[in-house]
Amino acid sequence: MKLLYKPIGLILGILAGMVGKRLFDFAWTKLDDEDPPKGTTQDAPWPKILGAAALQGVIFRTVRVTVDRYGAIAWQYLTGFWPGEKRPDPDE
């Protein structure tokens, strides 16, 4: 069953990336009028570059984990099997 979930997880990951990009763009427009700087932007100050990277990382990771979690919950609801790791036994 886990093997059948792999393509679904891949599609969900792509969708999460697209949603994360839009959320990052939206959040950045609330902070600054200019486009977010890349690491290779010559005249961009370090705090602005690092702030943009940190914001992007937080947003992308949060969206990805949320989409992964709800995808796994939906998979379990539909099939009865959890696609990921289970909680380890406390005896081990």
pLDDT by residue (tens digit) across 15-45?
Answer: 999 999 999 999 999 999 999 999 898 999 9
Helix residue spans in 1-45 (DSSP H) = 2-31
User: C-alpha angle 3/62/2, rounded to 5°?
Assistant: 10
Residue 92 inside a domain? The answer is no
Residue linked to tokens 């709800």: 70
Residue 64 inside a domain? The answer is yes
Residue 86 inside a domain? The answer is no
Global model pTM greater than 0.85: no
pLDDT tens digits, one per residue of 64-73 = 999 999 999 9
Residue 15 inside a domain? The answer is yes
Residue 50 inside a domain? The answer is yes
Residue 73 inside a domain? The answer is yes
Residue 39 inside a domain? The answer is no
Domain hosting residue 10, numbered range: 2-32+46-79
The conformation of residue 56, written as its DSSP 8-state character, comes to H
Residue 51 inside a domain? The answer is yes
